[in-house]
Structures are given as C-alpha cells and as structure tokens.
Chain A
Amino acid sequence: NAGVMQNPRHLVRRRGQEARLRCSPVKGHSHVYWYRQLPEEGLKFMVYLQKENIIDESGMPKERFSAEFPKEGPSILRIQQVVRGDSAAYFCASSPLDTNYGYTFGSGTRLTVV
C-alpha cells in the first residue's frame, strides 16, 4: 500500500518557465491538499481538491497557479512563469472519503527557480 507519491522530488526551472508538480494520493483517498513550505517556515495551505472539483483554493495565488485532480490520474499543481519567490517545497497530502482527518503527506517536490 504505497503512500502519497509525489514527483519529481526535485525540480529546477529558469525564471519564466512552467513547473508541473504531480501527486498521486493513497489508494482509496479522494481528498487531496497542496501545501507550500518555505525554508525555515511552516506549511501554508494552498488548495483542497476532490476528484474533478476544487473545494477550497483560498491559499493559492490567483495568478500563475492552478491545480486539478482529474477523474483519472494524479493531481497536478501547475505554476506558470515561475519567479524566484516560487522556490519552496511543495507537499501534497491525501485523506480518505469518510473522514477528512489524518492527512498522509507525500515526500514533497523541492522547486528551485534559477
């Protein structure tokens, strides 16, 4: 029973490029959450998705950032025209349908913008 799988683990992008981060939740989990962690800081909520629905995107910047969780396939966090300030660790977490407690986090994607 694999946990939350995120890829890539490390991603380097030049300013202005696009970054695509993937998250496959625990099998059977239908809720996916994305968090951003800056160096030496806590986890900041970005977006909460269920299959084919964005439930809460209140923590996600309105420009350049988008997220999806299609019926088939992983959840994708997409950052367009990346800037240096986007450099961070991006963690995905999932939880099962019956309860929204007890997140399981993936190993994260460390994005570096050069």
Chain B
Amino acid sequence: GENVEQHPSTLSVQEGDSAVIKCTYSDSASNYFPWYKQELGKRPQLIIDIRSNVGEKKDQRIAVTLNKTAKHFSLHITETQPEDSAVYFCAATLPQGGSEKLVFGKGTKLTVNP
C-alpha cells in the first residue's frame, strides 16, 4: 500500500521568512496530493492540492511542487505570518479497487515567531 513520509516534524521560522515542508510517497500510481492545515483543536482544512499531471501550483503565498520521478512533493509558504502557525499534513491518494482513501503524512508543526 501507499506510504507517505513527511519532514520535518517541527519547523520554526521568523515572521516574513519562507517555510518548506517535504513529503515522499511510495506508490508511483498515486495521482492526487493535497495539503491540509490543522489548527489546534480544529478540523483539517484543505489549503492546496496538486494532481499528477501538473508540476507546480500556486495560490497567493502558498505553492506546491511535485516531482513524479523522485516521488516527492513539497509545500512552500512565503512571507510567513503568525496565523500560519499550525500543523500541516501532506497526503496522497491511490485509486485502488474502488477505494480512494487518502494516506497522510505524520504532520509538520509550523511555528511562525513574530
């Protein structure tokens, strides 16, 4: 089955700096890669996603890149703000036998220091 590794587990940056979170996946047939942001005690919220036919996607200060050959994808947050502080999860989905479940990384706790 699919396995998703996420690094780093914690990341601390100064306000205004960039933050990069990296994930690798194991199954080359995976074709959808979302990123979720989870604030303390709240539900995970989709912030950006990318499909396997695209190499990069950007939405304001957030961008995601995908390298299918290397089987890794990354989240880039520029001009970080204190409200970006949260736990970020990457995920991959593998369509298999009618199941479209997402497999999640273990999360990165991002702290943006004012």
Does chain B have a CB within 8 A of A12? no
Q: Indicate if the CB atoms of A31 and B100 lie closer than 8 Å.
A: yes
B98 to chain A, nearest CB (A): 5
Give the size category of A's interface with B.
Answer: 20 to 34
**Do A42 and B101 contact each other (CB < 8 Å), given the known contacts A101-B49, A102-B49?**
no
The chain A residue with its CB closest to the CB of B91 is A43
Q: Indicate if the CB atoms of A105 and B106 lie closer than 8 Å.
A: no
Stretch at the interface among B37-45, B57-65, B76-84: B37-45
B113 to chain A, nearest CB (A): 21
Does chain A have a CB within 8 A of B46? yes
Q: Indicate if the CB atoms of B43 and A42 lie closer than 8 Å.
A: no
**Do A103 and B107 contact each other (CB < 8 Å), given the known contacts A45-B101, A56-B101?**
no
Main secondary structure of the interface of B (DSSP, over half): strand
Q: Indicate if the CB atoms of B93 and A100 lie closer than 8 Å.
A: yes
- CB contacts under 8 Å to B, within A34-65, are 35, 41-45, 48, 55-56, 58-59
Within 8 Å CB of B32, what residues of A?
101
Q: Taking each of A45, A58, A91, A104, which has the highest tally of chain B beta carbons within 10 Å of its own beta carbon? A: A45
Q: Taking each of B6, B46, B95, which has the highest tally of chain A beta carbons within 10 Å of its own beta carbon? A: B46
**Do A106 and B102 contact each other (CB < 8 Å), given the known contacts A42-B89, A56-B97?**
no
A46 to chain B, nearest CB (A): 9
Within 8 Å CB of B98, what residues of A?
55-56
The chain B residue with its CB closest to the CB of A108 is B43
Does chain A have a CB within 8 A of B104? yes
Give Cα distance in the complex from A88 to B113, angstroms.
29
Give Cα distance in the complex from A62 to B85, angstroms.
37
Q: Indicate if the CB atoms of A33 and B104 lie closer than 8 Å.
A: no
Nearest 10 A/B pairs, CB to CB: A100-B100, A56-B99, A42-B106, A105-B43, A43-B104, A42-B104, A45-B101, A107-B43, A105-B44, A42-B107
